[in-house]
Amino acid sequence: VLEVGLGGRFDATNAAEPQLSLVTNIGHDHLEILGPTLRDVAREKAGIFRQGVPALTAARGEGLEELRERARAMGTPLWVLGEEFSLLGVEALGEGLAFRLRIRGEERTFRTRLFGPHQAENLALAAVSGKLLGAGWEAVEKGLLRAENPGRLERLPWPGGKELLLDGAHNPEGAWALRQTLRFHGLLPAALVLGFSREKDHRAMAEALKGLGPVVLTRYASPRSQDPRALLPLFPGALVEEEPLKAVERAFTLENRVVVAGSLYLVGEVKRALLGLPPEERWQ
């Protein structure tokens, strides 16, 4: 499995010839390179399509429209979630999710240790991909049950019966998915430790995360990280703590559950700090 680093059309992974292509969704990320519109982003991602090679997507709206146009032009069979295959229900479990999938008149139930309704969509794509590539349903079920996604609603125990959640949530869509997940799984109240990269849409992300609980603003070790004090107008009443681990400790004085979000770099730095490792040196 090769994961595209950025876009698709000009990404190094596009030198490979795929047996199957997946575009999970089209979001507001890297617009300064791929955008400015969602159609532009979709056009870049569709660069991984090949004639006669199936492609799957859970995209919606104008992003999906552009993917359809590109698929038709290239002769790519496009499988769309909600059309060729569908999710029939998503249930929150104590240790993950259960969801039902319908494909070609057949229904299957799957379980996973991942959290969030959005992950049911991602895993539906993975399940259908496995089937199209020749895997049996039993193998698909085992794979989904074993799946892990570090830094994406990753739950870690904290001393005193408390809990730390780590989630990248580095764009508006990711922030809304985090909000939905916290409510869907009953993980509120929680305090939030937030840090963003400078080029992100801070206002849109703040809108998605407002009202979930007290906020401690921080930054990761890179010139690309936004000054947390510059974010204070978007988070009235928030606290500021420059060092991420100290920010987490401070947040635990406010709630028994703390969510670190806003940047995968921030999540990575917190994970390193918990292991006693220094921040990675970054040039950007």
Residues 6+ apart with CB under 8 A from 140: 110, 126, 127, 130, 131
pLDDT at 131: 96
Q: Band of the pLDDT at 86, cuts 50, 70, 90?
A: very high
Question: Would the pLDDT of 87 be above 70?
Answer: yes
For residue 41, give both structure tokens. 């982003």
Dump pLDDT digits (tens) for 165-222: 999 999 999 999 999 999 999 999 999 999 999 999 999 999 999 999 999 999 999 9
Q: Band of the pLDDT at 129, cuts 50, 70, 90?
A: very high
Question: Would the pLDDT of 281 be above 90?
Answer: no
Mean pLDDT over 224-243 rounds to: 97
Q: Band of the pLDDT at 152, cuts 50, 70, 90?
A: very high
Question: Would the pLDDT of 28 be above 90?
Answer: no
pLDDT at 75: 98
Q: Band of the pLDDT at 6, cuts 50, 70, 90?
A: confident
Q: Band of the pLDDT at 284, cuts 50, 70, 90?
A: low
pLDDT at 33: 82
Question: Would the pLDDT of 29 be above 80?
Answer: no
Give the chain's mean pLDDT.
Answer: 95
Question: Would the pLDDT of 246 be above 80?
Answer: yes
Question: Would the pLDDT of 104 be above 70?
Answer: yes
Q: What percent of the chain has pLDDT over 90?
A: 92
